Amino acid sequence: MARQKNNDNGGADYFSHDIDMRNDIKVKALRRKFSHTGYAVWCFMLEYLTDCTNFEFDYNEVSQELLASDFDVPVAELREIIDYSVKIGLLQHEDGKIFSAAHKRRFVRMLEVRQRRAEAARRNGRKGGNPNFKKGQPNPYYRTTEPVMEDNPNITQEITEDNPIVEQSNVEYSRVKQQKEKSPKGEKKTASRFSAPTVDEVRAYAQEKGYNIDPEHFVDYYTSNGWRVGRNPMKDWRATVRTWASRDRAQPPVQGTQSLGVGEFINSKGIRTYGTSGQPVPPQAPPRPSEAHYWSETTNQWEKTI
């Protein structure tokens, strides 16, 4: 698993690099069109995204100039390579930001750890928690009227009625201790933790329930937004699949749309798309022949990557 940076700026120290990345069908298409320059820019882009907050960056004229200078390529060529990468689904361009959904999936576990740490910090009222609270000892901000020497061996002061410290009540500590004494031995409560599903898990669940959804599109979408439903962290991905499927069923069918091809689906807005990046396809287009085909707006037909 990738390791997050010490400064916690949202990036990571490194990412896993598959030894056969050059043989990926989309990477091959990039290499064929732009030769070694295209592959070099793709590798540069993965390194740059790994260092970016949330593994994405704003795509504008300034960022194009800076990246072109960093990658040592002309701005026009860099823009052409990025646009083509978006077209074939290597990169995604949404809300003015560039990212790779497949690249983000490699950091799901790290993002879960980061999110749990942030939630723990918020619960403690500040980042890093309360360093004054020690496990196994009462909270130092409360006092107790009960003898606690057996619970805390560090207390050596004699407990008497004249001791003003003892006279200050600690109702909260007493209540917690009584609850512990009443609880059955060995009974432990464990909080459920959310674990992001894989594409295969989503596909298996959708097939079990008879849902007609694209599992890769589902995983890519929620990976890109940090597995959140609205503003809240996702708690049950199966419930989200059910909502996703019911929303798609509620969409009116696209008039005149032919049967869908390989990797095609109708999104929540009723638009015919294909691939993990959700590239749009004209409603009257013929079915997509295979995963190796992409829709060309220039020739207005399916083209095959080599």
What's CA 95's distance to the chain center, in Å? 17
Per-residue pLDDT, averaged over 178-189, amounts to 57
Return the sign of the alpha-carbon dihedral for residues 35, 40, 45, 50.
positive
User: Which residue did the predictor score with more confidence, 5 or 217?
Assistant: 217
Residues 32, 306 contacting (CB under 8 angstroms): yes
Instruction: Name the least confident of 11-25, 45-59, 96-110, 129-143.
Output: 129-143
Round the average pLDDT of the chain to a whole number and report it.
Answer: 77
Per-residue pLDDT, averaged over 253-266, amounts to 67
**Residue 218 to residues 101, 131, 250: CA-CA distances in angstroms?**
11, 41, 17
Confidence of residue 20 (pLDDT cuts 50, 70, 90): confident
Tell me the pLDDT tens digit for each residue of 193-238.
889 999 999 999 998 888 888 888 889 889 988 999 888 999 999 9
**What's the pLDDT at 233?**
93
Confidence of residue 35 (pLDDT cuts 50, 70, 90): very high
**What's the pLDDT at 2?**
54
Residues 290, 306 contacting (CB under 8 angstroms): no
For the cut 50, the answer to whether the pLDDT of residue 165 exceeds it is no
Give the tokens for residue 245. Answer: 């499927």
Radius of gyration of the chain (CA): 27
- Helix segments in the chain, DSSP class H: 25-50, 61-71, 75-88, 101-105, 108-123, 171-182, 199-209, 215-224, 237-250
What is this structure's pTM? 0.39
User: Which residue did the predictor score with more confidence, 125 or 171?
Assistant: 125
Q: Give the separation between CA 155 and CA 204, rounded to whole angstroms.
A: 57
What's CA 175's distance to the chain center, in Å? 40
With CA atoms as reference, report the closest residue to 112 among 252, 259, 234, 273: 234
| Fold of domain 21-105 | Arc Repressor Mutant, subunit A (1.10.10)
For the cut 60, the answer to whether the pLDDT of residue 151 exceeds it is no
User: Which residue did the predictor score with more confidence, 229 or 181?
Assistant: 229
Confidence of residue 53 (pLDDT cuts 50, 70, 90): confident
Tell me the pLDDT tens digit for each residue of 87-118.
999 899 999 999 999 888 888 777 777 778 87
For the cut 60, the answer to whether the pLDDT of residue 147 exceeds it is no
Residue 219 makes CB contacts below 8 A (sequence gap 6+) with: 105, 196, 197, 198, 199, 202
Per-residue pLDDT, averaged over 236-249, amounts to 84
Q: Give the separation between CA 138 and CA 25, rounded to whole angstroms.
A: 60
The count of other CB atoms within 10 Å of the CB of residue 101 is 23
Specify which residues 224 forms β-bridges with: none
Q: Domain boundaries in the chain?
A: 21-105, 134-171, 199-250, 264-304
Confidence of residue 7 (pLDDT cuts 50, 70, 90): very low
Q: What are phi and psi of 57, to 5 degrees?
A: -145, 155
For the cut 70, the answer to whether the pLDDT of residue 126 exceeds it is no
